Structure 1
Amino acid sequence: MVNDEGKRAMAVQDRTSERTDRKLLRAAKILAAAEAILREGDGALEMSQVAGKAGVSVGLAYHYFGSKAGMLGAIIDAFYDRYNHVTNQYIDPDIPWRIRERQRLMAAVEFLYNDPMAPVILGKMARTSQVAAVESARHEEMIEMAIRNIASGIRRGDIGDHIDPAIAGAAITGAIRGGIMHAMAMQPRPDPAKLTHQIWGMIAGALDIER
């Protein structure tokens, strides 16, 4: 049986949890409004626009994100977290490296084709000075992951040890990004399987492995 003190503690805990939930919902609402503005516009926004679309005060928007740069950083981080979840998904390590990584590439292409923020983050927003540093830092993370992945392929014997993982990782990451972004701007867009096939051909050539 719970005594009065225990009941009071539980009540305080419940109120704290409710406040936290409300804060998370407000923050999500504000970010959703910001993303909508970015998609509809040229990749730029003002806090007053976001507050108006979200139905909150400008002060509250600043309270949650500190600044416009903080809000844009949160949007970029959320996008790359989704992207990394896809590109770092578990794939049976016993599958030959080239087959496994082609599957991973296909997943990345499908993600970027389907995520509504992809053309904004990698296109419109990449041209704005406010977010260049944040976006560049997350892109560097992608390069580091590519370097580790190629090094793993070399250790497995699936890639020749004459390949420099650092050079190959940076070149391939940039080429994948550029190729997918160009394809996304085309009308109509190339079929994802066809695009994956073409990009994989470039990767196989760069790594000197069987296509």
Structure 2
Amino acid sequence: MNGRQETAERSDHKVMRAARILAAAEEILRANNGELEMSQVAEKANVSVGLAYHYFGSKSGMLSAIIDAFYDRYNAVVNQYIDPDIQWGVREKDRLKAAVEFLYNDPMAPVILGKMAQTRQVAAVESARHEEMIEMAIRNIGSGIKRGDIGSHIDPAIAGAAITGAIRSGIMHAMGMRPRPDPAKLTHQIWGVIAGALEIER
């Protein structure tokens, strides 16, 4: 085995060990309603506490990695490619449906959007990601206006910010309800708000 192969194997081993530590941390967060201690994570992942700190620097660093990974998964869903030739309203309703289904099914969504939403780590990451979502909404609405699917009197910046906030608030509230609303019904209701704001057919 040459030096390059050995380096690659060591790198792969580090990646897998870091992933195992994060998986253990996520499991503890889900079981403890968003709370964890580094000692718990180390024990669960079968590593030393020092190694957990080595990989993530601090408890805050570990939580930030978990939160970033969650939003990366979420963004991959809401930013997925959808045929641009499909009517704007149909395309974006499909995107909303996918977002609702993701948040209903991702095991970390109730934790990160629940109690952890009040923490500094989540607030910092979510603030940046929320701005990204607003920018995406503005571009999407702008494309709908150019295609003639949305009236030119609609301001994409105002509508994009308002709609993004409405989606976030509606989904977060629904996820806290017991029982949760049916995802198809939730998608339909939120889409009604979007369609009303953009003055398009539901």
TM bucket (normalised to shorter chain) is: over 0.9
Aligned to 2:114: 123
Match of 1:188 among 173, 179, 189: 179
Query: 2:61, 2:142 → 1: CA distance?
Result: 35
What SS does the corresponding residue of 1:90 show, helix, strand or coil? Answer: coil
Q: How do 1:1-211 and structure 2 match up within 5 A? A: 11-211=2-202
Query: 2:3, 2:58 → 1: CA distance?
Result: 31
The superposition leaves residues 69-92 of structure 1 with CA deviations (integer Å, 9 ceiling, x where unpaired) of 211111111111111111111111
Query: 1:71, 1:177 → 2: CA distance?
Result: 25
Per-residue deviation, 1:48: 2.0
For the Cα contact (< 8 Å) 2:64–2:121, is it kept in 1?
Answer: no
Query: 1:165, 1:191 → 2: CA distance?
Result: 30
Query: 2:195, 2:153 → 1: CA distance?
Result: 14
**Runs of 5+ in structure 2 lacking a partner?**
none
For the Cα contact (< 8 Å) 1:69–1:131, is it kept in 2?
Answer: no
**Runs of 5+ in structure 1 lacking a partner?**
1-9
Identity value in percent: 81
Aligned to 1:4: none
Query: 2:136, 2:35 → 1: CA distance?
Result: 29
For the Cα contact (< 8 Å) 2:114–2:176, is it kept in 1?
Answer: no
Residues 131 and 100 of structure 1: CA distance in aligned 2, closer, same or farther (over 3 Å): closer
Query: 1:55, 1:137 → 2: CA distance?
Result: 34
TM-score in terms of structure 1 length = 0.90
For 2:106, the aligned partner's letter is D
Which protein shows a greater Rg?
A: 1
Query: 1:169, 1:120 → 2: CA distance?
Result: 26
For the Cα contact (< 8 Å) 1:43–1:128, is it kept in 2?
Answer: no
Q: How many residues align?
A: 202
